[in-house]
Structure 1
Amino acid sequence: MALRLTAVFCLSVMFVTVRLASEHGVHVVESLFYRQALALPVVLIWVAMAGGLQTIRTRRIRVHASRMMLGLTGMLLNFLSYILLPPAEAATIGFTMPIFGTILSALILREATGIHRWSAVLIGFVGVLVMIRPDAGHFPLQGVAVAIAAALVTASVSLVLRELGRTEAAGVVVFWFTALSMIPLGVAMPFVAQMHDATTWGLLLMIGLFGGIAQLCLTTALRWGPVSVVLPMDYSAIIWTTLLGVAIGEDWPMATTWIGATLIVASGLYIAWREHVRARQSRIGQGRVSPAVPLPD
């Protein structure tokens, strides 16, 4: 739990720093490039200490390439959402990722999805509507659309990661995502790269440093704790992004943001709990767990 909280804090700092860097004239592709380039040495050291560099060998490079393109697209959209929206609102819309994950699992993986999770999906979308209040024009619709697209793409990445996780260790997945992403980013950089002052270079260094630490803590947390316990820590991002946003001069979130966030978080937590229940029922069905108490269907 502590590792996941650390990861979420680092991600919040990274996203808010991306917003600050944009205000200093940094192109979003530059932020992406330095995020990955500065994280790559950290990932290599981690892999070398965990099992040696020989462990990065893979026979599924095409799947890793697909994961890279989806992951890079999701990261781009997430960066843009924090540039276009106040940090607290961008983080809150990002919490819809489990909602889209449920929808995609039902449509693509044909997973059985009952009334409980569909109800949670509906409540989550109501929360989005309450927060953004489309009729009031509080937030740019372009930013809202980008944030929702970011959550959708991130949910798609989770499906690919589920497939890769069957054969690949976490270090292998993180390494190939980081390394392969340098190819398209390296091609794009000459068109957007520019000189910056010392303050801006410091912001770019923070993006890479906090992003790399977050990535390692996210992965390690799932090795040391059950998913049902670890993942709810992600919702602490609303606290960090709110405080960081206020610290850089953003307004305190409106009441509708907190109401909408409550509905979205409740929806995500309920979906996570249902996933835990289904996984436990599956283990009981396979004779791997003894049902100490009756489980809801």
Structure 2
Amino acid sequence: MDLPEPTPAPGEHRNQALSAIVIRLFAAISITAMFACVKLASDRGVHVLESVFYRQLAGIIVLIPIALAGPGLAALRTERPWAHVSRMVIGMVAMSLNFLSFALLPIAEATAIGFMVPIVATLLSIVLLKEAVGVHRWSAIAAGLAGVLIVVQPGDGHIPMLGAIVSLTGVAVTAFVSIIIRKLGETENPITTMFWFSLSSMVPLGIAMLFVGQMHDAHTWGIIALMGLFGAFAQLGITWSLRLAPVSVVLPMDYSSLIWAALFGYLIWDKWPVPATWIGAPLIIGSGLYIALRENRLAKLRDQATARS
């Protein structure tokens, strides 16, 4: 007869939540540092597809120990290989566009526009998944779109229009990827999805490297190595934080990326975000955070209703 597991004391819950927040904050810093390295590498002539290749290679290296420490290598098996291939193709387009946006735009502005993903994902869920969205989320979507217009300021010229278009396209494709991941999540472990994304992407990226791969000086290789390392840290931190606390607890830490991006932009490129970014970014962050937390609350209510029925 199995004995019930002891219920954690309130203090243990608080300690776990605090640990999750600190780890997620570390992940936010790491992912911002990764994009700073992408931009630095681009400045030194590294092709975007090279950066994506080394980022994915680092992902494979870090996910195997995560699987071994957690559910085991059996968790990496899948019965939906073609679904993962579809996710990989679209995910590669999204990642390449996102990396290119950081090469073309100031790091803070690229980060702010990237916060649009949950907003665009909500719009796509209405069209593709036929999800019902009420006035609250429609208002959040409108606020987020207004924030983007303030940050981008079409026609003003304070950021390159090509970079803005690439960044917004990357946001749209990334949001579409999130819909695919949501469907995959119905049967697949998150570690399985991440692992097969990284592994399967090695095929097209390996072919691309035959054309864009090149030798670099020691300094540039160091930047590439740091990019992969920070990307692995970010992936590990995101996964680990969600084991300790729910999304609603750790999600707000993701938006600290704008602070780190502003600091990196100033310290490395001597470029501080323009006032419009500080005005528009809170609208984007607030709307994305509201949508994510509201969806989390609605999911809990649906689970409770299912449990009662």
Residue 16 in structure 1 maps to residue 29 in structure 2? no
Using the size of structure 1 for normalisation, the TM-score is 0.93
Q: Look up the SS of the partner of 1:286 in the other structure.
A: helix
Instruction: Sort the Cα spacing of 1:123 and 1:248 in 2 relative to 1 into closer, same or farther, 3 A.
Output: same
Matched, 1:95 2:115: yes
Question: Is the deviation greater in 78-87 or in 2-11?
Answer: 2-11
Q: Give yes or no for the alignment of 1:234 onto 2:254.
A: yes
Asked if 1:36 corresponds to 2:56, the answer is yes
> Residue 122 of structure 1 corresponds to which residue in structure 2?
142
Map 1:155-234 to 2 at 5 A.
155-234=175-254
CA-to-aligned-CA distance 1:109-134 (integer Å, 9 cap, x gap) = 01110111111111111111111211
**AA at the equivalent of 2:57:** A
Offset at 1:276?
2.7
Which residue of the partner structure matches residue 83 of structure 1?
103
SS in structure 2 opposite 1:70? helix
Q: Are 1:105 and 2:105 matched, yes or no?
A: no
CA RMSD in angstroms comes to 1.5
Aligned residue number for residue 48 of structure 1: 68
Correspondent of 1:68 among 65, 79, 88: 88
When normalised by structure 2's length, the TM-score is: 0.90
Distance in 1 between the 2:207 and 2:57 partners? 13
Aligned partners of 1:86 and 1:250 also within 8 Å? no
Cα distance in structure 2, aligned partners of 1:103 and 1:52: 36
Partner Cα separation in structure 1 for residue 31 and residue 273 of structure 2:
19
Match of 2:174 in 1: 154
Identity %: 50
Deviation of residue 288 (structure 1)?
A: 5.3
Q: Segments of 4+ in structure 1 off by > 3 A? A: none
How many angstroms apart in 2 are the aligned matches of 1:152 and 1:69?
A: 15
Matches within 5 A, 1:259-274: 259-274=279-294
Question: What number of residue pairs does the alignment pair up?
Answer: 289
Which segment is superposed worse, 194-203 or 53-62? 53-62
Measure how far apart 1:186 and its partner are. 0.2
After superposition, give the CA deviation of every residue in 1:46-73 in whole Å (9 maximum; x if it has no partner): 2223233233111001111111112211
Distance 1:153 1:5 in 2: 25
Structure 1 stretches lacking a partner, 5+ long: 290-297
Structure 2 residue runs of 5 or longer lacking an equivalent are: 1-20
Is it true that 1:254 corresponds to 2:274 in the alignment? yes
Letter in 2 for 1:52: G
Partner residue, 2:153: 133
Distance 1:95 1:285 in 2: 31
**8 Å contact kept, 1:16–1:87:** yes
